[in-house]
Structure 1
Amino acid sequence: MTVTGRDAHTEAPATSALFVYGVARADADLPRMKGVAGNPITAVVHGDVMAVVGEVDVEESVMRKADLTAYHQVLDRLAVEGPVVPVRFGSALPDEQGVIDGLLRRSDELVALLDALEGRSQLTLRARYVEEAVLAEVVADDPVIRDLNDRTRGVPEQASWAERMRLGELVAQAVDRRRHDDAADLLDLVLPYAVEHREVRGTGLDHVVEVALLVDDERRAELEEALESYAEAVHERIRLRLLGPLAPYDFVGDARWG
């Protein structure tokens, strides 16, 4: 946790700080819930905006998995009620005045962001291959891969090392080509429903695509229906997971301060 704005020369340094979750409109309803370190959330109001904060001990780490989960739970709950601008996880300020001086003084920028996010939510789509299915496709469709696969099956690894290396390279290339085409098809389907999108880099043989979508709430049901139809058509080879609605973590730019 990084506490900014603290006077290093203070004779008696404070033992607590305010963990900052995000910014909402000043008149937004604040849910009664606990956040990081099990402490309740509160608000610091300044003009037309408020920062959602919670007290934390500056001597204790707030980088645990449970704290990250709590951070997301608070922001996602706020996002259900109205627009919210997330602040980078782990950001903290010494006190309420520090929150105003370090964050809320940018009220014009924050209000503009909240206006742009009004009536919109983030949905994150993850597509993964059914690994056995895509590998079977690759072997069936490529005679070179099929031949190498047959020749190395049941042969000791040391005796077929070179052919196994070549087989692995060819399989990876073939899966990459399928990934490119499948990802393009899926993006062609979902992007017309999104105001903005951000692709997330993925890893692993089973990765197809992961994309964050900023979607008007009134179009969410249409997107979900389109994805249900797509998922039914490809379920034997691709699995889809749609997360959300979420706070707009990927769509707030520099305001994700910290």
Structure 2
Amino acid sequence: MIDIDVLTGKYLYAIIRCADRRVIPACGIHERGARVYTIPYRNLAAVVSDSPYEEYDSSRRNMLAHTRVLEAVMQQYTILPICFGVVAPDADTISERLLVRSYNDLEAQLDELDGRIELGLKAFWTDEQFFRSLADQDPGIRTLRQSIVGRPPERTYYDRIRLGELVEQAVAQRRYEESERILASLRPLARSVIVHPVLTDRMLVNASFLINRSEEAHFDQAVRDLDANVGPQVLFKYVGPVPPYNFVNLNVHWS
């Protein structure tokens, strides 16, 4: 249990537009659900809760508490989210070394995000036979694979390496073609798009979209249309609105 007497630090969640000190209807990251409030400077404010000045474990509980505060703040404000685990020694440090020092940059980033939201989309191939069917469709792969059948492993070592390379190239080409087809239908609806690296062999799209909040229903429908058009061979995972980490450049430090 946390001793209130040692809560001299300030745990940071986000930067918002707010000219006065306000209490945010959310529970902070600490065991007792510390009060979440703002530390203002001019028309900006840091969203914080009282905290020990120490590092936080990236446990599921702590990460979830951090995210829930961001979600609560997003209900009322445009936010610049701060990554998990940032703690300042006191309120003056936040004012002087973040809000004052970076005021113009924070203002500009909030201007860019005003009235906009981040949405995330991942797409996966679902067919377990996908790689086999892809190999069957490629004459070069099919011929090399057939030439290996029935031959001793020691005599086909380099052929098998080459076969793996050809399959990898074919998958990459198919991923590029299908991902571009998906992204081409969504890019015109977004203010900005960030395409992230794929994380698994079956993933073909991993992207974040910054869109006007007023266009959310339109974007939702575009994703539903994609899902209907590509059929069951592709699974879409669509999330949002989420804290716009991917469209914020915020490096918080106290040095």
Q: TM-score, normalised by structure 1?
A: 0.82
How far apart are the structure 2 equivalents of 1:154 and 1:256? 59
Aligned-residue offset at 1:59: 4.3
1:229 to 220, 225, 228: 225
Question: For the structure 1 residues 81 and 143, does the alpha-carbon distance in structure 2 shift closer, same or farther, using more than 3 Å as the test?
Answer: same
Equivalent of 1:249 in 225, 235, 245: 245
1:175-206 alpha-carbon deviations (Å, 9 max, x no partner): 00011111211121111111112121223211
The residue correspondences of 1:52-71 to structure 2 (distance < 5 A) are 52-59=47-54, 61-71=56-66
Note closer, same or farther for the CA distance 1:161–1:236 as it changes in structure 2 (3 Å cut): farther
**Residue deviations 1:180-238, cap 9 Å, x none?**
11121112111111111212122321121211111001111111111111112223322
Identity among equivalent pairs (%)? 25
Letter in 2 for 1:32: P
Deviates more, 1:151-160 or 1:33-42: 151-160
Given candidates 198, 204, 213, the residue that maps to 2:194 is 198
Q: What one-letter code is carried by the residue in structure 2 that aligns with 1:103?
A: L
Query: Retained in 2: the 8 A contact 1:125–1:240?
Result: yes
Helix, strand or coil for the counterpart of 2:26?
coil
CA pair 20-139 structure 1, distance change in 2 beyond 3 A: same
1:77 shift after superposition: 2.8
Match for residue 164 of structure 2 among 154, 162, 168: 168
Question: How many angstroms apart in 1 are the aligned matches of 2:218 and 2:153?
Answer: 51
The residue type paired with residue 137 of structure 1 is: S
Matched residue, 1:72: 67
Determine the C-alpha separation between the residues in 2 that align with 1:23 and 1:238: 38
- Residues 124, 244 of structure 1: 8 Å contact kept: yes
Which segment is superposed worse, 17-26 or 145-154?
145-154
Partners of 1:131 and 1:205 within 8 A in 2: no
Equivalent in the alignment of 1:50: 45
Q: Secondary structure at the match of 1:103?
A: helix
Compute the displacement of 1:37 (Å).
Answer: 3.3
Q: Give the CA deviation at 1:84.
A: 0.4
SS of structure 2 residue aligned to 1:37: coil
The count of residues paired between Structure 1 and Structure 2 equals 244
Distance verdict in 2 for CA 1:134–1:81, change over 3 Å: farther
Which residue number corresponds to residue 19 of structure 1?
A: 11
Deviation at 1:43, TM superposition (A): 1.8
Shift of 1:22: 0.7
SS at match of 1:212: strand
- Equivalents in 2 of 1:171, 1:65: separation in Å? 38
**CA offset digits 1:63-118 (Å, max 9, x no partner):** 33432232222223322322001123222211111111121213343233223212
Aligned-residue CA RMSD (Å): 2.7
Task: Look up the match of 1:112.
Answer: 108
The 2-side partners of 1:15 and 1:54 are apart by 9
Residue identity opposite 2:25 in structure 1: R
Q: Are 1:197 and 1:211, in contact at CA under 8 Å, matched by a contact in 2? A: yes
**143-152 vs 161-170, which moves further:** 143-152
Q: Which moved more, 1:98-107 or 1:177-186?
A: 98-107
Q: Is the 8 A contact 1:86 1:256 kept in 2?
A: no
Q: Alignment partner of 1:33: what SS?
A: strand
- TM-score, normalised with respect to structure 2: 0.83
Gaps of 5+ in 1: 1-13
Deviation at 1:241, TM superposition (A): 1.2
TM-aligned CA distance change 1:57 to 1:159, over 3 Å? farther
